[in-house]
Amino acid sequence: MSDRRRLLQCLPSAAALALLGTAPWPVAAQPGAAGTRKVLRLASESETGFDPARVGDVRSLRVTAHIFETLLEFDPLARPVKLRPRTAAAMPEPDADFRSWTVRLKRGIRFTDDPAFKGEARELTAADYAYSLKRLADPATRSPGWSSAEQIGIRGLAALRRTAVESRQPFDYDRPIDGLRVIDRYTLRFELDAARPRFPQWLASASTAAVAREVIEAQGELSMQHPVGTGPFRLAEWRRSSRIVLERNPLFREVRYDAEPAADDAEGRAILARLRGRRLPMVDRVEIAIIEEKQPTWLAFLNGEADWVELPDGFTPVAMPGGRLAPNLAKRGIRAERVVMPSTYYTMFNMEHPVVGGYAPERVALRRAVGLAIDVGREIALLRHGAAVAAQSPVAVHLSGYDPAWRSEMSEYNPAKARALLELYGWRDRDGDGWRETPEGAPLTLEVATQPGQDMRRYDELMKRDMSAVGLRTRFSAATWPEQYKAARAGRLMLWSVSGRASSPDGVEGLLRYEGAAAGGINLARFDLPEMNATIARLQALPDGPEREAVFEHAKRLTVAWMPYKLRTHLAATALVQPWLVGYRRPLFWNNWFEYVDIEAHPDHPGAAA
């Protein structure tokens, strides 16, 4: 018996974890054994559902991206990132002014079977994309993707939405609009209100994936739990907040692995050499256990019962001491990949809340004081164990407009300055009890939304410590992530800390959170400043170059001055991969990777003979 097997016997098994109330993985059969299927096993936190127009959280998008397909996608190995066709037959064709774009689809792509199709084979067509994009504008869909769609400026789409809102009538999907025309069964023509040189990037974003109108109309509000797409996998099982199972889509067309890693990318070129030409997907089944607590996930990975894990912050000193993979893990063939992601962890202030919101100087002073009181350096060192960098602006690493040398008040920790701001603008302790009151003399308590779990309690304790140091009382209210997300979109939270990730390499992605029209969607703070709205619109239209970089500079300064979000960190995500999982590379702006990996026979795989 190997040393590793003795170690595994000393660790909690899947069955033991099940007794603890976590979602277990069954022991997988050895890949390649007769009569067995390849199963990819991983864990995730809570999901919300699987309708591409209605979800905005990474956990759900990670699933929908494998069921539904966009017109374009990002090459899985290319760094810097590179767009390529997915269901499109070729890259979109622009007119000279970048206002008009033509996209042609591949033929013969089929949706998975569904009763809504009445037994007929259902081919993907241009009309499906036209319908799916209109869904983003339908008020009844409540799409987080509408803010991005509105910024793209498809001619007539916003007006169609306004008509539905003002008339209080159902959205008219059959009404033609100039900006979205089905030329023929496989050709789509876009007309935009302004030049959009980076328009193709949007066609790779998850919210633009194609759905079938018959299915959506048959399912109604149940569309979140009844996904029917053209992607490499289909949903086989879903127990909310417990377990998700995807299975290979038997109707998925023949697609072979290919990619274009850079010439100096040795790792990427090795992956390509190993996998080129293999038919996708390479695994037959994906099993996702929903586990909120990190320890069971980590133990399951150590036991070989999970093939991939997003390294929890609390286990970074054990797995990645000094930023390098621990020798005992490296000896087992486990691989680590750490990448600073185009994501930002931030604390939102509800700009419509009577205490922390608004644009009056004393409300701005309160938000900036809270920001100055948050010890981001301590958070990175103690809670994230160095796996993050301090955020200076919403334009994160890997995005156009990002400047690694740019510094701002966002990263500043200065309790003395925070106390001075509060005193100057009337947030004083009038009754001598040690806690500040509002400028109007009312009691002041910061109501902080949070989630249950040991990890979040550590963040809450640090937040309470930082706020107490400047005389601000806090009260924490815990609920599940989906519940808090829903409440945030509805404007019912005062403060909430959450992370967001860009879906394309355009720096505007990080700024859309500040766009007034996105309130209730990606703009959880409900910030609405005309100057910022105009700046974002200008950035959308400008071509890449020095002029655009100068506008980015102005936009970043606005985000610091008004502080609707206290930006805290850009997260460095670390994935640990078992030796039998082949081909994994961290996606940067996209969510699909299950089809690009394989499970190969390995002596240490749990299904191997002892």
Q: Give residue-wise pLDDT tens across range 91-130.
A: 999 998 999 999 999 999 999 999 999 999 999 999 999 9
- pLDDT (0 to 100) of residue 13: 41
- pLDDT (0 to 100) of residue 86: 98
For the domain 343-571, what is the CATH superfamily, name and number? Answer: Dipeptide-binding Protein; Domain 3 (3.10.105.10)
Find the mean pLDDT for residues 199-203.
95
- pLDDT (0 to 100) of residue 215: 97
Of 207-216, 218-227, 440-449, the range with the lowest mean pLDDT is 218-227
Residue at 421: amino acid letter: L
Mean pLDDT of the chain: 91
- pLDDT (0 to 100) of residue 214: 97
Q: Is the pLDDT of residue 340 over 70?
A: yes
How many angstroms separate the CA atoms of 311 and 314, rounded?
8
What does residue 498 show for φ and ψ, rounded to 5 degrees? -155, 165
3-46+250-340+573-599 under CATH 3.40.190.10, yes or no: yes
What does residue 364 show for φ and ψ, rounded to 5 degrees? -60, -40
Query: Exposed/middle/buried for 129, CB within 10 Å: 0-12, 13-18, 19+?
Result: buried
Find the mean pLDDT for residues 525-536.
97
- pLDDT (0 to 100) of residue 375: 97
- Is 67-230 in the same CATH topology as 3-46+250-340+573-599? no
Going 158 to 160 to 163 to 164, the CA torsion angle's sign is negative
- pLDDT (0 to 100) of residue 34: 53
Terminal C-alpha separation, the chain: 7
79-90 pLDDT, tens digit each: 989 999 999 999
Confidence at 608, pLDDT banded by 50, 70, 90: low
Q: Could you tell me the CA-to-CA distances from 331 to 254, 301, 308, 328, 383 in Å, in that order? A: 37, 15, 17, 5, 27
Please state, as a whole number, how many other Cβ atoms lie within 10 Å of the Cβ of residue 538. 15
Going by their DSSP bridges, the two strands 243-248 and 233-239 should be labelled as antiparallel
For the domain 67-230, what is the CATH superfamily, name and number? Answer: Dipeptide-binding Protein; Domain 1 (3.90.76.10)
Tell me if the bond preceding 281 is cis, omega within 30° of 0.
Answer: yes
320 within 8 A of 574, measured Cβ to Cβ = yes
Find the mean pLDDT for residues 337-356.
94
Sequence-distant (≥ 6) Cβ neighbours of residue 469 within 8 angstroms: 373, 415
- pLDDT (0 to 100) of residue 477: 97
The structural domains of the chain, with segments of one domain joined by +, span: 3-46+250-340+573-599, 67-230, 343-571
Q: Classify the phi-psi angles of 21: left when phi > 0, otherwise alpha if psi is within -120 to 50, otherwise beta.
A: left
Confidence at 33, pLDDT banded by 50, 70, 90: low
- pLDDT (0 to 100) of residue 3: 39
- pLDDT (0 to 100) of residue 2: 41
Rounded to the nearest angstrom, the gap between the alpha carbon of residue 245 and the centroid of all alpha carbons in its chain is 20
pTM of the model: 0.79
371-419 pLDDT, tens digit each: 999 999 999 999 988 889 999 999 998 899 999 999 999 999 999 999 9
- pLDDT (0 to 100) of residue 11: 38
